[in-house]
A and B are shown apart, each in its own frame.
Chain A
Amino acid sequence: MGIMDQFFQQLINGISLGSIYALIALGYTMVYGIMKLINFAHGDIYMVGGYVGFFCITIMHLPVLPALVISMVLTGLLGILIERIAYRPLRSAPRLSVLITAIGVSFFLEYTMMYFVTPQPRTFPHILSDVAYHIGPFVVNNQQIMIFAITIILMALLTYIVQFTKTGKAMRAVSFDTEAAQLMGINANRIISFTFGIGSALAAAAGVLVGIYYNSIDPLMGIMPGLKAFVAAVLGGIGILPGAAAGGIILGIVEALVSGFISSTFRDAAAFAILILVLLFKPTGLLGKNTNEKV
């Protein structure tokens, strides 16, 4: 394969991986936008989503799409519950307290899961028979197509909700100025719950897709992608939805190119190098305005 062919092949791989990052990053950025909280438990919510999908497929013998939807709903409810129990009582507490709580929630999810499902990785059943499509010199498999398609659909749905529905507009209002939103009669707590629910559901979708793509899940699988998605959110501009999507895809592509052309050992280093570069040169992210404006 020529170098250009290899480049495009890695591009395809990168877009698949990047779609996963993007789905997780959207939740990070939504929760940050509305509460100014870096929800470090977000990667673990993605892990829980993966397990719910796994059990839907193995125990309940459901096809992919119903498993995906059930996982999104249940994990979304878990996100709402976590916000209600762990974060809401800290609404007027210093931000550091909330951050530490988020780390606590993260450990809680990881080790509670370990207790119930054992630390052993589980092999995701092969539910989609492998079909590879050859487009010229490139190979795209059906899983990659599915990941990309589902990501696009979910992003379109999210955009529709945020831009055009009353609740979505209220989300933007609360993100911009919680107090002014309350003066409109908006119940900020309910909107924050909703935001957690949506963000968690998107992460759950990513968890199920990763299970299908890489065939394996384990209780600590959320740590790395959680950090990477955080990098993606910062890269795009934290609090900005299209930024999270773009940041995720870009990060996925960079990682794939680094693995393909340099060495997969440097994959993670590349992600964190990006974080450092962003923080040094454009801390507001690619799509961020240079003021401290939030979206």
Chain B
Amino acid sequence: METMLKVDDINVYYGAIHAIKGISLEVNKGEIVTLIGANGAGKSTTLRTISGLLKPKTGTITFEDEVISGTAAHKIVEVGVSQVPEGRRVFSNMTVMENLEMGAYIRNDKSQIKLDLDKVFHHFPRLAERKKQEAGTLSGGEQQMLAMGRALMSAPRLLLLDEPSMGLAPLLIKEIFEIIKDINKEGTTVLLVEQNANMALSIANRAYVLETGQISLSGDAKELAASEEVRKAYLGG
């Protein structure tokens, strides 16, 4: 299998706080890989470091054989990695359409952008109905859809998702996870951060369990879901 993303023994600090303590992980082309763990384990920090918002003190991150640790965040999008950040962070003061345009900021291929826009509207028909609505007035679920659609507009090869289920009703979570599966089937590799371990393990190929800045377990998602350790700690039984 072709390795797409390789995180190699990174250490990340917030000032004196040692948040990530030597994490290594890999994502292969075409996979859905999930990173699960409790509050404060360092899941978001890991994704933010991959996206270049934080710099690892030591260790390297490689994407398709190109070292990207040390590359500016806005350039990493051009390389093909796009993130849906925790808490959605849509541009509330802009319309749905403008948010999607910002997602395609790095691109100039008008006809291809149009095709991707249609694709986003196909995945999220509710966004199509609300093109002109200010993003700040969307419901939480719609904002999550917009954040995902916006990230897809850069036509990423690797999509990083930080807790897409946060604050959503169970039915909506199901819908969102179905869409993640579809996006993956259409050729986008996915690294999914979740606290909702049940859902995440159900759609992922492989998983990593993060505990206070270190990876404690990793392996096949189905096997992890069945393992005693994970069931106890993350699946409520």
Contacts and interface: CB of A to CB of B under 8 A. Distances in A.
B22 to A, nearest CB: 25
B144 interface: no
Tell me whether chain A's interface is mostly helix, strand or loop, or mixed.
helix
B101 interface: yes
Interface of B: 51-53, 72-75, 77-78, 82-83, 85, 89-94, 98, 101-103, 105-106, 150-151, 154
B91 A180 contact: yes
A177 B89 contact: yes
Nearest to B77: A185
Given A166-B101, A169-B101, A179-B89, A185 B94 contact: no
Interface in A200-231: none
- Among all A-B residue pairs, the 4 with the closest Cβ atoms: A185-B77, A185-B106, A180-B89, A182-B73
Given A172-B94, A176-B94, A295-B93, A183 B105 contact: no
A170 B91 contact: no
Given A166-B105, A169-B98, A179-B53, A185 B78 contact: yes
Interface string A271-295: 0000000000000000000000101
A105 B151 CA distance: 39
A185 B51 contact: no
Nearest to B135: A176
9 contacts: A166-B101, A172-B94, A176-B91, A179-B73, A182-B73, A182-B74, A183-B51, A185-B75, A186-B102
Given A169-B98, A172-B94, A184 B77 contact: yes
B51 A176 contact: no
B231 to A, nearest CB: 34
A146 interface: no
A184 B150 contact: yes
Contacts of A99: none
A176 B92 contact: yes
Contacts of B78: 185
B105 A186 contact: yes
A78 interface: no
B85 A180 contact: yes
Contacts of B101: 166, 169
Q: In the complex, which range does the number of interface residues on chain A fall in?
A: 10 to 19
A170 B102 contact: yes
B85 A187 contact: no
Given A169-B98, A173-B102, A179-B53, A184 B154 contact: yes
A183 B77 contact: yes
Given A183-B85, A185-B74, A172 B91 contact: yes
Contacts of A170: 102, 105
Contacts of A182: 52-53, 72-74
Contacts of A176: 91-94
Contact of B82 (A166, A183, A188): A183
Nearest to B89: A180
Nearest to B150: A184
Nearest to A163: B98
A180 to B, nearest CB: 4
A181 interface: yes
Given A180-B91, A184-B154, A293-B93, 19 more contacts: A172-B91, A173-B91, A173-B94, A173-B102, A176-B91, A176-B94, A179-B73, A181-B91, A183-B77, A183-B82, A183-B83, A183-B85, A184-B74, A184-B106, A184-B150, A185-B105, A185-B106, A186-B102, A186-B105
A280 B154 CA distance: 45
B102 A181 contact: yes
Contacts of B154: 184-185
B89 A186 contact: no
B73 A169 contact: no
B89 A169 contact: no
B89 A184 contact: no
Nearest to A187: B74
A179 B154 CA distance: 16
Contacts of B106: 184-185
A184 B103 contact: yes
Contacts of A185: 74-75, 77-78, 105-106, 154
Nearest to A167: B105
A113 B101 CA distance: 44
Contacts of A295: 93
A295 B154 CA distance: 24
Contacts of B74: 182, 184-188
B165 to A, nearest CB: 19
